[in-house]
Amino acid sequence: MRHVLSIATISLFCLSQTALADDSGAYLGVGFSSNNLTSSCADGYFSSCNTPSTAPKDSGHVRLVGGYNFDKHFGVELGLSDLGTYRVRDNSNVTVGEFKASAVTLALRGGNTFSNGFSIFGKLGLASVRTQYKVLPAWTLVGSTDQRSSGFVGGVAGQYDVNKVVGIRVSLEMIQFTDEEFENFAGGVGLMAVFRL
Protein backbone atom coordinates (compact mmCIF):
# COMPACT_ATOMS: atom_id res chain seq x y z
CA MET A 1 0.00 0.00 0.00
CA ARG A 2 2.84 2.34 0.88
CA HIS A 3 4.42 1.71 -2.57
CA VAL A 4 1.12 2.47 -4.32
CA LEU A 5 0.80 5.78 -2.43
CA SER A 6 4.40 6.67 -3.30
CA ILE A 7 3.84 5.91 -6.99
CA ALA A 8 0.56 7.87 -6.97
CA THR A 9 2.24 10.86 -5.31
CA ILE A 10 5.13 10.83 -7.80
CA SER A 11 2.68 10.47 -10.71
CA LEU A 12 0.58 13.42 -9.52
CA PHE A 13 3.71 15.52 -9.08
CA CYS A 14 4.88 14.71 -12.63
CA LEU A 15 1.44 15.46 -14.07
CA SER A 16 1.25 18.77 -12.23
CA GLN A 17 4.69 19.75 -13.53
CA THR A 18 3.61 18.86 -17.08
CA ALA A 19 0.49 20.98 -16.73
CA LEU A 20 2.54 23.83 -15.33
CA ALA A 21 4.98 23.52 -18.24
CA ASP A 22 2.05 23.76 -20.69
CA ASP A 23 0.92 27.03 -19.08
CA SER A 24 4.36 28.62 -18.84
CA GLY A 25 6.83 29.59 -21.53
CA ALA A 26 7.91 32.26 -23.98
CA TYR A 27 5.97 33.60 -26.96
CA LEU A 28 6.23 36.06 -29.85
CA GLY A 29 3.40 37.91 -31.56
CA VAL A 30 2.95 40.03 -34.69
CA GLY A 31 -0.11 41.95 -35.81
CA PHE A 32 -1.74 45.24 -36.68
CA SER A 33 -3.71 47.85 -34.79
CA SER A 34 -5.99 50.78 -35.53
CA ASN A 35 -5.12 53.75 -33.31
CA ASN A 36 -6.62 57.10 -32.32
CA LEU A 37 -5.12 59.98 -30.36
CA THR A 38 -6.41 62.49 -27.81
CA SER A 39 -4.07 65.41 -27.12
CA SER A 40 -3.76 68.68 -25.25
CA CYS A 41 -0.92 71.18 -24.90
CA ALA A 42 1.85 70.02 -22.62
CA ASP A 43 1.76 73.41 -20.86
CA GLY A 44 -2.00 73.23 -20.30
CA TYR A 45 -3.01 76.12 -22.59
CA PHE A 46 -4.89 74.12 -25.20
CA SER A 47 -6.80 77.12 -26.63
CA SER A 48 -3.58 78.85 -27.71
CA CYS A 49 -1.66 75.92 -29.18
CA ASN A 50 -1.78 73.73 -32.25
CA THR A 51 -3.96 70.63 -32.23
CA PRO A 52 -3.07 67.12 -33.49
CA SER A 53 -5.73 65.22 -35.40
CA THR A 54 -7.47 62.43 -33.50
CA ALA A 55 -7.26 60.01 -36.43
CA PRO A 56 -3.91 59.12 -38.01
CA LYS A 57 -3.17 59.87 -41.66
CA ASP A 58 -1.94 56.29 -42.10
CA SER A 59 -3.47 52.93 -41.17
CA GLY A 60 -2.49 49.36 -40.33
CA HIS A 61 0.02 50.12 -37.58
CA VAL A 62 2.42 47.25 -36.88
CA ARG A 63 2.56 45.79 -33.38
CA LEU A 64 5.15 43.26 -32.13
CA VAL A 65 5.24 41.56 -28.73
CA GLY A 66 7.41 39.09 -26.91
CA GLY A 67 6.72 37.74 -23.49
CA TYR A 68 6.90 35.00 -20.92
CA ASN A 69 4.02 33.34 -19.06
CA PHE A 70 5.03 32.29 -15.55
CA ASP A 71 1.83 30.23 -15.22
CA LYS A 72 -1.76 30.42 -16.51
CA HIS A 73 -2.41 33.61 -14.51
CA PHE A 74 0.68 35.83 -14.66
CA GLY A 75 3.33 36.89 -17.14
CA VAL A 76 5.43 39.75 -18.46
CA GLU A 77 5.29 41.28 -21.95
CA LEU A 78 7.57 43.53 -24.01
CA GLY A 79 5.97 45.36 -26.93
CA LEU A 80 6.87 47.55 -29.91
CA SER A 81 3.99 49.59 -31.33
CA ASP A 82 3.67 51.97 -34.26
CA LEU A 83 1.14 54.52 -32.96
CA GLY A 84 0.67 56.32 -36.29
CA THR A 85 1.35 59.66 -37.98
CA TYR A 86 -0.85 62.61 -37.04
CA ARG A 87 -1.36 65.98 -38.75
CA VAL A 88 -1.11 69.07 -36.56
CA ARG A 89 -3.34 72.11 -37.24
CA ASP A 90 -3.40 75.62 -35.83
CA ASN A 91 -6.45 77.50 -34.47
CA SER A 92 -7.49 78.36 -38.06
CA ASN A 93 -7.47 74.64 -38.98
CA VAL A 94 -4.41 75.11 -41.21
CA THR A 95 -1.93 72.21 -41.25
CA VAL A 96 1.37 73.33 -39.70
CA GLY A 97 3.12 69.96 -39.49
CA GLU A 98 2.82 66.37 -38.37
CA PHE A 99 4.39 63.86 -36.03
CA LYS A 100 4.96 60.12 -36.02
CA ALA A 101 4.85 58.22 -32.74
CA SER A 102 6.13 54.77 -31.77
CA ALA A 103 6.39 53.09 -28.38
CA VAL A 104 8.34 50.40 -26.56
CA THR A 105 6.37 48.98 -23.62
CA LEU A 106 7.08 46.67 -20.70
CA ALA A 107 4.07 45.38 -18.77
CA LEU A 108 2.98 42.80 -16.23
CA ARG A 109 0.10 40.56 -17.32
CA GLY A 110 -2.63 39.06 -15.18
CA GLY A 111 -5.60 36.96 -16.21
CA ASN A 112 -6.76 33.40 -16.72
CA THR A 113 -6.25 30.64 -19.27
CA PHE A 114 -9.21 28.29 -19.69
CA SER A 115 -9.07 24.62 -20.69
CA ASN A 116 -10.94 25.26 -23.97
CA GLY A 117 -8.05 27.34 -25.38
CA PHE A 118 -9.44 30.77 -24.52
CA SER A 119 -7.61 33.23 -22.28
CA ILE A 120 -8.36 36.73 -21.07
CA PHE A 121 -5.93 39.11 -19.43
CA GLY A 122 -5.15 42.68 -18.55
CA LYS A 123 -1.77 44.35 -18.56
CA LEU A 124 -0.23 47.43 -16.95
CA GLY A 125 3.25 48.84 -17.29
CA LEU A 126 5.62 51.49 -18.58
CA ALA A 127 6.07 53.00 -22.04
CA SER A 128 8.97 54.75 -23.75
CA VAL A 129 7.65 56.80 -26.67
CA ARG A 130 9.50 58.40 -29.60
CA THR A 131 7.83 61.30 -31.44
CA GLN A 132 9.34 62.57 -34.70
CA TYR A 133 8.08 65.97 -35.87
CA LYS A 134 7.97 67.46 -39.38
CA VAL A 135 7.36 71.17 -39.07
CA LEU A 136 6.19 73.79 -41.59
CA PRO A 137 7.43 77.42 -41.18
CA ALA A 138 4.18 78.48 -39.46
CA TRP A 139 4.93 76.27 -36.44
CA THR A 140 7.67 76.96 -33.91
CA LEU A 141 8.37 73.80 -31.92
CA VAL A 142 8.97 74.05 -28.18
CA GLY A 143 11.46 71.16 -28.28
CA SER A 144 13.47 69.20 -30.83
CA THR A 145 12.04 67.43 -33.87
CA ASP A 146 13.03 64.03 -32.42
CA GLN A 147 11.74 63.61 -28.86
CA ARG A 148 11.63 60.76 -26.36
CA SER A 149 9.28 60.62 -23.42
CA SER A 150 8.06 58.13 -20.84
CA GLY A 151 4.53 57.16 -19.96
CA PHE A 152 2.25 54.28 -19.12
CA VAL A 153 0.58 51.40 -20.97
CA GLY A 154 -2.56 49.50 -20.05
CA GLY A 155 -4.82 47.12 -21.88
CA VAL A 156 -7.12 44.14 -22.01
CA ALA A 157 -7.14 41.23 -24.44
CA GLY A 158 -8.72 37.93 -25.33
CA GLN A 159 -6.83 35.12 -27.02
CA TYR A 160 -7.81 31.82 -28.59
CA ASP A 161 -5.10 29.18 -28.97
CA VAL A 162 -5.74 27.29 -32.21
CA ASN A 163 -3.25 24.65 -31.07
CA LYS A 164 -0.28 24.45 -28.68
CA VAL A 165 1.83 26.72 -30.91
CA VAL A 166 -0.45 29.32 -32.57
CA GLY A 167 -2.98 31.68 -31.03
CA ILE A 168 -5.12 34.60 -32.25
CA ARG A 169 -5.38 37.67 -30.01
CA VAL A 170 -7.76 40.65 -30.05
CA SER A 171 -6.70 43.52 -27.79
CA LEU A 172 -7.46 47.04 -26.66
CA GLU A 173 -4.35 48.94 -25.61
CA MET A 174 -3.87 52.50 -24.33
CA ILE A 175 -0.60 54.44 -24.03
CA GLN A 176 -0.29 57.75 -22.18
CA PHE A 177 2.76 59.97 -22.79
CA THR A 178 3.77 63.64 -22.61
CA ASP A 179 6.54 65.10 -24.76
CA GLU A 180 7.61 68.76 -24.97
CA GLU A 181 4.67 69.67 -27.22
CA PHE A 182 1.61 67.64 -26.26
CA GLU A 183 0.08 65.51 -23.55
CA ASN A 184 -1.15 62.45 -25.45
CA PHE A 185 -3.41 59.47 -24.93
CA ALA A 186 -3.21 56.89 -27.75
CA GLY A 187 -5.63 53.98 -27.86
CA GLY A 188 -5.97 51.19 -30.35
CA VAL A 189 -7.68 47.91 -31.18
CA GLY A 190 -5.33 45.21 -32.40
CA LEU A 191 -5.43 41.79 -34.07
CA MET A 192 -2.39 39.58 -33.64
CA ALA A 193 -1.04 36.09 -34.26
CA VAL A 194 0.86 34.73 -31.24
CA PHE A 195 3.41 31.89 -31.47
CA ARG A 196 4.59 29.89 -28.46
CA LEU A 197 8.28 29.04 -28.50
Residue 97 belongs to a domain: yes
* Domain at 115, CATH number: 2.40.160.20
Domain contains 11? no
Q: Is residue 60 part of a domain?
A: yes
The number of domains in the chain is 1
Query: Percent of the chain having pLDDT more than 70?
Result: 86
Give which of 154, 192, 184, 194 is closest to 52, Cα–Cα.
Answer: 184
Instruction: Name the pLDDT band for 141 (thresholds 50, 70, 90).
Output: confident
- Alpha-carbon distance of 164 to 197, in angstroms, equals 10
Give the pLDDT confidence score for residue 105 in this predicted structure.
Answer: 98
pLDDT digits (tens, 9 = 90+) for 21-51: 468 999 999 999 999 999 888 765 444 578 8
Q: Does residue 43 sit within a domain?
A: yes
- Mean pLDDT lowest among 3-12, 93-102, 125-134, 185-194: 3-12
pLDDT of res. 22 = 67
Q: Name which residue leads in pLDDT, 90 or 142.
A: 90
154-170, pLDDT tens digit by residue?
A: 999 999 999 999 999 99
- Could you tell me which residues come within 8 angstroms of residue 39 by beta carbon, excluding any fewer than 6 positions away? 51, 52, 182, 183, 184, 185
The dihedral built from the CA positions of residue 70, 119, 107 and 170, taken in this order, carries a sign that is positive
Q: Which residue range is the domain that position 180 belongs to?
A: 25-196
Q: Is 3 a domain residue?
A: no
Any domain includes 14: no
Mean pLDDT of the residues in the chain: 87
Could you tell me the pTM of the whole model? Answer: 0.82
Contacts of 128 (CB under 8 A, 6+ apart): 103, 104, 105, 148, 149, 150, 151
| 160: in domain | yes
Does residue 51 fall inside a structural domain? Answer: yes
